Amino acid sequence: MDLRLAGRGALVTGSSSGIGATIAETLADEGCEVLVHGRNAGAAAAIAERVAARGVRTEVVLGDLTEPGVAEQIALTARDFGVQILVNNAGPFAEHDWESSRASDWRAAFEGNVLPTVRVSQTLLPSLRAHGWGRVITIGSRAVRTPLPNMVTYSAAKAAVVNMTTSLARHLAGTGVTANCVSPGVIVSPSMYRMFEERAADSADEGNAATAATETEGPVDEADIVAAYAANPTGRLGRPEDIASAVAYLASPRADYVNGIELRVDGGITGTP
Ligand SMILES: NC(=O)c1ccc[n+]([C@@H]2O[C@H](COP(=O)([O-])OP(=O)(O)OC[C@H]3O[C@@H](n4cnc5c(N)ncnc54)[C@H](OP(=O)(O)O)[C@@H]3O)[C@@H](O)[C@H]2O)c1
């Protein structure tokens, strides 16, 4: 199926690695021109090179989205690049529980996940409206529906992202610009992988080593992770490609009639309707 994305401009925040990088490459595969974003110049340039290899126009914009004024600056660069598709992907996670989390942890979760989405979207909205067609895609989490006891700040911030996506879709009624959210399950990205490595090391320290080499990236056993942390009816961890495919569909004109939804791409882990 031709997604009719050829020639459309896209910004993917946090596309210098992880899920965002795969979204950038997938959109490029569909003919999108892609503005790659991250903080690490070398990593962002490497992804831009992979995007350019698909024969589409690409540029890099750098900046820490939690720094004052940076989100707005990135959005203005996106406007000048001709972006019609905004993917608010960057969104750090951290482990905090109810008893030990401090105000600064809650602030960091919202400053990393909520405010960049608000600021980049707000600044880009006038030009999306002017195009008469556009997409705002946010990235939620399975933690939205099933808050994780060890990630309470992140879970709450991601719930806010879904809520904001719904209100934005309503706000944009009649403009040709839609807003939708993709909520990943447990996806094998570098940061997620690091977290499981740390857990495997802790587990090994406690004498429960689960450290056989696997097809993923090294000394963490995918089957053990699925069983311990991510039991789902599909029976595996997610891949960045699973998320990128969903984003590409929602970004496309094929999804013109899909608006204000949370699309859960989580292997069924959430278990709620
Ligand atoms: N992986 C999962 O299992 C999972 C599950 C549910 C939801 N999600 C969500 O999916 C999205 C992508 O996840 P991921 O696992 O690919 O994350 P990741 O590996 O941590 O993504 C890192 C990307 O985000 C950028 N980034 C992080 N903080 C930034 C900041 N303050 N300013 C600018 N860029 C920043 C990084 O840039 P540099 O490296 O250049 O600094 C890099 O491009 C996130 O919203 C995450 O919450 C992931």
Q: Can you give the pLDDT at residue 207? A: 60
Which tokens is 49 given? 């090179």
Is residue 206 over pLDDT 80? Answer: no
| pLDDT score for 218 | 56
The residue-averaged pLDDT of 69-89 equals 98
Bridge partners (DSSP) of residue 185 are: none
**pLDDT tens column, 164-179:** 999 999 999 999 999 9
Is residue 180 very low, low, confident or very high in pLDDT (cuts 50, 70, 90)?
A: very high
Is the whole model's pTM more than 0.85, yes or no?
yes
**Would you say 83 and 137 are in contact if contact means Cβ atoms under 8 Å apart?**
no
Take residue 246 and report the two structure tokens written for it. Answer: 């969903």
How many angstroms separate the CA atoms of 164 and 180, rounded? 10
What is the CB neighbour count within 10 angstroms for residue 93? Answer: 20
Report how far ligand 1's centroid is from the alpha carbon of 106 (Å): 17
Q: Which of 64-73, 147-156, 196-205 has the lowest mean pLDDT?
A: 196-205
What does R_g of the chain's alpha carbons equal in angstroms?
18
Report in angstroms the alpha-carbon separations of 248 from 137, 207, 242, 261.
10, 43, 10, 15
User: If you measure from the C-alpha of residue 43 to the centroid of ligand 1, how many angstroms do you get, rounded to a whole number?
Assistant: 13
Per-domain boundaries in the chain: 9-187+239-265, 188-237
Instruction: Name the token pair of 13.
Output: 């925040």
What is the pLDDT, as a whole number, of residue 271? 82
Residue nearest to atom 11 of ligand 1 (CA): 89
Look at ligand 1, atom 25, and give the residue with the nearest C-alpha.
14
- Nearest 5°: the CA angle 264, 265, 267 is 110
Which residue's CA is minimally distant from atom 7 of ligand 1?
141
List 154, 193, 249, 257, catalytic entry: 154
Task: Tell how far the Cα of 16 is from the centroid of ligand 1, in angstroms.
Answer: 9
Tokens for 269, please give them: 């882990």
154 counts as catalytic: yes
Question: Do residues 144 and 164 touch, judged by C-beta distance below 8 A?
Answer: no
Q: Which CATH architecture has domain 9-187+239-265?
A: 3-Layer(aba) Sandwich (3.40)
The sign of the CA dihedral 229, 235, 237, 238 is: negative
At 99-157, the pLDDT tens digits run 999 999 999 999 999 999 999 999 999 999 999 999 999 999 999 999 999 999 999 99
- 234-272 pLDDT per residue, tens: 999 999 999 999 999 999 999 999 999 999 999 999 987
Angle at 93 between CA 51 and CA 242, to 5 degrees: 45
The ligand 1 atom nearest the CA atom of 190 = 19
**Order of strands across the sheet with 262-265?**
58-62, 33-38, 9-12, 83-88, 134-139, 177-184, 262-265
**Statement: residue 209 has pLDDT above 60:** no
